[in-house]
Amino acid sequence: MRLFFLSLLIVTCSIGAFAQDFVVRGFIYEKETGEPAPFTKVRVVELNQGAVTDLNGFFQIPKLPAGEFTIEITNVQFQTITEKITTEASGILDLRYEMESGTVLTEIEVTAEDKQKTTNVQTSVVKMDQKSIERIPSIGGEADVISAFSITPGVVTTGDQGGQLYVRGGTPIQNKILLDGMTIYNPFHSIGFFSVFDTEVIKNVDIYTGGFNAKYGGRISSIMDVTYRDGNKKKFGGKISASPFMGRAVIEGPLYKDKNGTGKSGTFILSAKRSLLDLTSETLYPWVNDGDGLPFTFTDVYGKMTFNAGTGAKVSLFGFSFNDRVNYTNIADLSWKSAGGGMNFSLVPGNSPVFIEGHLNASKYELNLEENLLQPRSSSIFGFDLGFDFTYFLKNSSELAYGINVGGFNTNFLTFNEFGREISDENFTVEVSAYLNYRLVKNRWVVEPSFRAQYYATLGTISPEPRLGIKYNASEKIRLKASGGRYSQNFTSASSDRDVVNLFNGFLSAPTNVQSSFVTENGKTITDIRNGLQYAWHAVAGFEVDLTKRLTLNVEGYYKDFTQLSNINTNKLYQDIAEFNQIDDVYKKDFILESGRAWGIDALLKYSSSRLFVWTVYSLGKVDRWDGFTEYAPVFDRRHNANIVVTYLFGKKKDIEISLRWNYGSGLPFTPTKGFYQGESMSGGVSTDYTSTNPTTFETLLGDLNSERLPDYHRLDITAKKQIEFKNKTNMEIVVGVTNVYNRKNIFYVNRATNEKIYQLPVLPSLGVSYKF
For strands 669-670 and 631-632, give the pairing. unpaired
Spatial distance between the Cα atoms of 223 and 181, rounded to a whole number of angstroms: 12
Check residues 172 and 18 and name the one with the higher pLDDT: 172
pLDDT for residue 1: 47
Q: How many CA atoms lie within 13 A of 150 on its CB side?
A: 29
pLDDT at 497 over 50: no
- pLDDT tens digits for 149-202? 889 999 998 766 555 789 999 988 899 999 999 999 988 887 767 899 999 999
- Of the candidates 269, 273, 268, 270, the one whose C-alpha atom is nearest the C-alpha of residue 241 is 273
Which range has the worst mean pLDDT, 511-525, 538-552, 632-646, 751-765? Answer: 751-765
pLDDT for residue 511: 78
- pLDDT tens digits for 722-760? 999 998 889 999 999 998 999 998 887 676 667 777 778
pLDDT for residue 564: 92
> CA triplet 308, 312, 316: central angle to 5 degrees?
40
106: confidence class by pLDDT, cuts 50, 70, 90: very low
- pLDDT tens digits for 62-89? 988 999 999 999 988 889 999 999 988 8
SS (H, E, C) 348-371: CCCCCCEEEEEEEEEEEEEEEEEE
Burial of 167 (0-12, 13-18, 19+ CB in 10 A): buried
pLDDT at 7 over 50: no
- Over residues 757-768, the mean pLDDT reads 83
The H-assigned helical ranges of 192-330 are 277-284
pLDDT at 98 over 60: yes
- Over residues 433-447, the mean pLDDT reads 95
Would residue 628 be called left, alpha or beta, if left means φ above 0 and alpha means ψ between -120 and 50 degrees? left
Tell me phi and psi for residue 160, to 5 degrees: -80, 0
- pLDDT tens digits for 320-358? 999 998 887 767 788 899 999 999 999 988 888 899 999
- Amino acid sitting at position 383: G
Mean pLDDT value across the chain: 86
Please, which residues bridge with residue 60 across strands?
25
pLDDT for residue 18: 45
Which range has the worst mean pLDDT, 304-308, 347-351, 490-494? Answer: 490-494
Helix (H, G, I), strand (E, B), or coil: what is residue 10? Answer: helix
pLDDT for residue 136: 83
User: Using CA atoms in the order 746, 751, 755, 759, what is the torsion angle rounded to 10 degrees?
Assistant: -20
Check residues 597 and 142 and name the one with the higher pLDDT: 597
Spatial distance between the Cα atoms of 610 and 224, rounded to a whole number of angstroms: 27
Check residues 107 and 536 and name the one with the higher pLDDT: 536
Cα–Cα distances in Å, from 217 out to 269, 450, 454, 599? 30, 12, 8, 21
Q: Which of 115-119, 496-500, 574-578, 690-694 has the highest mean pLDDT?
A: 115-119
- Over residues 529-535, the mean pLDDT reads 88
- Of the candidates 341, 343, 396, the one whose C-alpha atom is nearest the C-alpha of residue 363 is 341
Please, which residues bridge with residue 600 across strands?
558, 621
Class of domain 2-112: mainly beta
DSSP 217: -
372: confidence class by pLDDT, cuts 50, 70, 90: confident
- Over residues 604-631, the mean pLDDT reads 93
Question: What are the E-state strand segments in 457-590?
Answer: 461-473, 478-489, 491-492, 508-509, 518-519, 525-526, 534-546, 551-568
pLDDT for residue 10: 45
Contact 726, 736 (CB under 8 A): no
- pLDDT tens digits for 123-149? 999 998 888 888 887 666 678 888 888
- pLDDT tens digits for 629-669? 889 998 889 999 999 999 999 999 999 999 999 999 999 88
pLDDT for residue 17: 45
- pLDDT tens digits for 285-301? 887 767 677 788 999 99
- Over residues 660-685, the mean pLDDT reads 78
pLDDT at 418 over 70: no
Give the right CATH number for 125-675 from 2.40.170.20, 3.40.120.10, 3.40.50.150, 3.30.1280.10: 2.40.170.20
Spatial distance between the Cα atoms of 36 and 30, rounded to a whole number of angstroms: 6
> CA triplet 683, 687, 692: central angle to 5 degrees?
70
Check residues 164 and 395 and name the one with the higher pLDDT: 395
Spatial distance between the Cα atoms of 652 and 641, rounded to a whole number of angstroms: 36
Spatial distance between the Cα atoms of 761 and 759, rounded to a whole number of angstroms: 7
pLDDT at 483 over 80: yes
697: confidence class by pLDDT, cuts 50, 70, 90: low
704: confidence class by pLDDT, cuts 50, 70, 90: confident
The H-assigned helical ranges of 122-178 are 130-135, 145-150
- Over residues 611-639, the mean pLDDT reads 92
pLDDT at 699 over 80: no
Which range has the worst mean pLDDT, 86-90, 363-367, 580-584? Answer: 580-584
Check residues 522 and 479 and name the one with the higher pLDDT: 479
Contact 276, 140 (CB under 8 A): no
Question: What are the E-state strand segments in 243-313?
Answer: 246-256, 265-275, 296-308
Please, which residues bridge with residue 87 across strands?
67
Contact 64, 23 (CB under 8 A): yes
pLDDT for residue 70: 93
pLDDT for residue 693: 63
Which range has the worst mean pLDDT, 249-258, 590-599, 691-700? Answer: 691-700
Please, which residues bridge with residue 172 across strands?
none
Close Cβ partners of 658 (under 8 Å, ≥ 6 residues apart): 647, 648, 650, 718, 719, 720, 721
- Amino acid sitting at position 384: F
- Over residues 374-401, the mean pLDDT reads 90
> Of all helices (H) and strands (E), which one includes residue 669?
strand 669-670
* C-beta atoms surrounding 333 within 10 Å: 17
What percent of the chain is modeled with pLDDT above 90?
49
Q: How many CA atoms lie within 13 A of 32 on its CB side?
A: 9
The H-assigned helical ranges of 592-656 are none
DSSP annotation string for 336-347: EEEEEEEEEEEE
Task: List, by residue range, all CATH 2.60.40.1120 domains of the chain.
Answer: 2-112
Residues written for the chain: 773
pLDDT at 566 over 70: yes
Task: List, by residue range, all CATH 2.40.170.20 domains of the chain.
Answer: 125-675
108: confidence class by pLDDT, cuts 50, 70, 90: very low
pLDDT at 683 over 60: no
Check residues 732 and 112 and name the one with the higher pLDDT: 732
pLDDT for residue 161: 54
